Each structure stands twice: as structure tokens, then as C-alpha cells.
Amino acid sequence: MKKIIPNIRLVAFDFDGVFTDDMVYVLQDGTEAVRCFRGDGIGLRKLERLGIETVIISTESNPVVSSRARKLKIRCLQDCHDKRTVLEGLVDELGITLAEVAFVGNDINDLPTLRCVGLPIVVQNAHKDVIPYALYQTGNPGGQGAVREVCDLFEQALAPATAGIHACS
């Protein structure tokens, strides 16, 4: 892992089950709501400061995903039934290779993407069929600090002397 992280230029995340606890609240009018971890935003800013691009790639097309992505200031690609192809297009756009990508997933629809990147990551409560394909499994479940954990992992690997220390102005 320590040899892979310095080569990563993009961290791509699935949404449901990674940013969320994989549960959905369905209101009377059919509107959906999900539960997310507030600390993810601070983690994403760490990746930003490290110069690492981030993106959400979701199979779903749901306003709640767009809303959360806007709040987190992260690019969001939705309605992606073939996440690997979408990721390959993004890699071409950014001028990087799949070896320079980390992907964080949780279920079997993430498997083709997990299998093609340089750093495949799954959350603690990932489906058992995808766990063997990960080089790292978070200690935190999806929606309960897994995204923040991944961001902290990158910060610790890339800036070990200053991780978590920030000067006050």
C-alpha cells in the first residue's frame, strides 16, 4: 500500500454503501433520503490539498446523490451502469492511467471497476464476494466514516510528518 498510494492521482467512490450506510428512507411522496457521515467532507478536503482528484461514480440516478456531491464539492457521475467504462473515460480526460486510480466500492456491481484500478478498496461491510479483490478494506463501515478513513490513509501516507497538524493564523 505504501508504495501504491504515492502513485494515485484519482480516488473514485461508489455512493450507496460507501458514502451511505446502504440504507434508504422512502418518504410518502416517494422521495428518498439517505444517511451520510459528516466527517467525509473534511477528509475530501485533505485529498484536495494533496492534489488528488475525486469523483463519485454511481449506478443510481438520484437527486440525493447530486445534492450530497454538491455539498461535498465533489464531481458526480450518475446513471453509470458500466462504472469501469465511465472510469476509463475519466482517466482519458485527466491524462492518467488506471494504475493511478483508487476505487472505493462495496458490492458486486463495483467488481469490474475494482479489478481494473491500481488501488482497489472496499468498505468494512462490503459484500463478501468483492472483499478478495481489495488491497485495502476499511475498518469503518460505509456511511460511518469509511470515506474519511480512506482520505486519512492518503494523508498519512503522503504527508506523514504533518498529518493532522495545521498552523493557526
What is the per-residue pLDDT for 52?
97
Confidence of residue 168 (pLDDT cuts 50, 70, 90): low
What is the per-residue pLDDT for 159?
78
Confidence of residue 60 (pLDDT cuts 50, 70, 90): confident
| Among 39, 59, 71, 24, residue whose Cα is nearest residue 150 | 39
Confidence of residue 125 (pLDDT cuts 50, 70, 90): very high
| Among 142, 144, 164, residue whose Cα is nearest residue 154 | 164
41 to each of 47, 52, 99, 118, 165, how far by Cα in Å?
A: 10, 14, 25, 24, 17
What is the per-residue pLDDT for 2?
79
Burial of residue 159 (CB within 10 Å: 0-12, 13-18, 19+) is middle
Domain spans in the chain, listed from the N-terminal domain onward: 5-158
Q: Buried (b) or exposed (e) across 63-85, using 16+ Cβ within 10 A?
A: ebbeebbeebebebbbebeebbe
> Is the CATH number 3.40.50.1000 carried by domain 5-158?
yes
Residue 135 phi/psi, 5° resolution? -90, -15
DSSP string, 58-92: -S---HHHHHHHHHHT-EEE-S-S-HHHHHHHHHH
Reported as a single tens digit per residue, the pLDDT across 15-44 is 999 999 999 999 999 988 999 999 999 999
